[in-house]
Amino acid sequence: MDFSNSKVLTFEQGCKYLGYKKSYVYKMTSAGILPFSKPNGKAIFFNRELLENWMLSNPSSSRSEKQVEAATYVKTKGGVNYHG
């Protein structure tokens, strides 16, 4: 199902978009983990872009990215000087 043209997703569409079961999504909305809207007090809607931002939050670097970061840090900071 293509959601790229939809700015607003229904609860069911949001579950499919996230790839989670409805019960798990209900738990995450109840806990305030997922961003959602409830305009009439009953139906839950999602902003697709906010879901994407949530899905991409807390990124983890790959091992090669971490090695490059470490090498860059050592090069720019000049390593550690030990005075004994």
Domain assignment present for residue 61? The answer is yes
The count of structural domains within the chain is 1
Residue 20 lies in a domain: yes
Q: Which domain holds residue 14?
A: 8-77
DSSP state of 71: H
| Averaged pLDDT, 20-24 | 97
Q: Is residue 2 part of a domain?
A: no
* pTM (two decimals): 0.69
Query: Got the DSSP string for 3-60?
Result: -TT-SEEEHHHHHHHHT--HHHHHHHHHTT-S--B-TTSS--EEEHHHHHHHHTSS--
Going from the C-alpha of 19 to that of each of 2, 62, 64, the distances in angstroms are: 13, 23, 28
In a domain, 65, yes or no: yes
pLDDT in tens, 43-77: 999 999 999 999 998 877 788 877 877 788 787 77
| Structural domain contains residue 83 | no
Q: Is the pLDDT of residue 4 over 80?
A: no
Residue 81 has pLDDT above 70, yes or no: no
